Amino acid sequence: MTDRVVLAYSGGLDTTVAIPYLKKMTGGEVVAVSIDLGQGGEDMESVRQRALGAGAVEAVVVDARDEFADNYCLPTIKANGMYMKQYPLVSAISRPLIVKHLVEAAKEHGGTHVAHGCTGKGNDQVRFEVGFMDNAPDLKIIAPARDYAWTRDKAIAFAEENNVPIEQSASSPFSIDQNVWGRAIETGYLEDLWNAPTKDIYAYTEEPSLGQAPDEVVISFRAGRPVAIDGREVTVLQAIEELNRRAGAQGVGRLDMVEDRLVGIKSREIYEAPGAITLITAHEALEDVTLERELARYKRGVDAEWSNQVYDGLWFSPLKRSLDAFIESTQEHVTGDIRLVLHNGSIQVNGRRSEESLYDFNLATYDTGDTFDQTLSKGFVQLHGLSSKIANSRDRRFSK
């Protein structure tokens, strides 16, 4: 039986060259699988034809845009998913979906191996391979860029020597990954932490200082799910796409951070995720008025751990599944509207309303009609601080 390698195929230099290279190294056939995650740019049929032109025996394109939005972006919204309180997990949430479809393609096309184009320095190798181990442990894994010391200059040389159709050149400085949830840019001159990013690296966002008029938007949620924008019903995918346009036009969602990678190194990353940042900001604001205090406090810790699990490639882990269940249980009353102003790269929440709100005007007001019994507070304060008072009294007595 001839080996068949199912390759996660993006259409770029590395994965295009990987097709003939994998054929040469394994003596087998290559099935290229490309996933449409709303990344835009090149037509997916052109990507498919490039894979066939490079020598793939089969080239599969999967339209997973709604699946990605509903099953991967939406859980990220509900979890307020932000690694290191900043990064909305743009690449991390796409990898388990790609794994799912590669495993399905391996079953359909008789795959014996799966392959990805990740290096040994990054997080994605972990995300892909742990995903494969969790879902199809019998499949053998090949990572040409890591396992065969495959570098960009070697890839270009191999393409030229073997007449592989590629469009990239050695002068392209950046590594870019993008989908509808956002865009990640790294390498090149960005590896010098003192170098500021230049305007040409951005594609999803406009320069914040262009002086656009403020854009006020109302986002409606039902049980944590965005269901309408300015009163018009939308799917999750449509919500992300519209806010990518509107928030992106205001320069919202740009991020320049030094990230703690899973492999132990620090890496400078540039992200732009206008729709993601806007939706998470609105969702957090609605949770502020619909979640009980202790539940909200506890969920913030769960959200952080959920983000760590996803970033670390553990989408299919038992802990992450249990965190999903907890987070979903918190969303029952996260229903209502959030009004935001998008302007000059910033988001300002200026309105909140919900029939399931825990905000009680009569308790909160300082004006006539206040129903809060302030006489109860004196005893509460005394009891609340009692244990701390006793401990500090003891410490003063025995301090040297």
Which of 175, 267, 317, 357 is flagged as catalytic?
175
Summarised one tens digit per residue, pLDDT across range 175-197 is: 889 999 999 998 888 999 999 99
- Tell me the one-letter amino acid at 373: D
Q: Would you state the structure tokens that stand for residue 65, as one six-digit string?
A: 């845009």
Question: What DSSP string runs through 211-240?
Answer: -PPPEEEEEEEETTEEEEETTEE--HHHHH
Is 14 part of the annotated catalytic residue set? yes
List binding-site positions. Answer: 8-16, 87, 117, 119, 123-124, 127, 175, 259, 271
CATH topology for 4-171 is Rossmann fold (3.40.50)
Alpha helix stretches (DSSP H) within 44-140 = 44-53, 65-68, 74-78, 95-109, 124-135
CATH 3.90.1260.10 boundaries in the chain: 175-291+333-353
The answer to whether 332 touches 357, Cβ cutoff 8 Å, is no
Which of 124, 177, 303, 312 is flagged as catalytic?
124
Q: Which residue matches tokens 């900043």?
A: 86
Cα–Cα distance measured from residue 101 to residue 114, given in angstroms and rounded to the nearest whole number: 11
- Position 1 scores a pLDDT of 66
CATH 3.40.50.620 boundaries in the chain: 4-171
Alpha helix stretches (DSSP H) within 223-376 = 236-249, 274-290, 293-311, 318-330, 361-364
Q: What is the CA radius of gyration of the chain?
A: 25
Closest C-alpha to 40, from 301, 295, 248, 317: 248
Percent with pLDDT over 90 in the chain = 78
Is 124 part of the annotated catalytic residue set? yes
Is 95 part of the annotated catalytic residue set? yes
Summarised one tens digit per residue, pLDDT across range 131-173 is: 999 999 999 999 988 887 777 777 778 777 777 766 654 455 6
pTM of the full predicted structure? 0.94
By mean pLDDT, which of 16-30, 238-252, 296-310 is the weakest? 16-30
Distances (CA, A) of 238 to 63, 71, 99, 160, 284: 15, 14, 24, 41, 20
Write out the CATH class of domain 175-291+333-353. alpha beta
pLDDT at 367 over 90: no
- With H, G, I as helix, E, B as strand and everything else as coil, classify residue 363: helix
Ramachandran angles phi, psi of 238, nearest 5°: -65, -35
Q: What's the distance, Cα to Cα, between the start and end of the chain in Å? A: 80
Which of 95, 183, 246, 254 is flagged as catalytic?
95
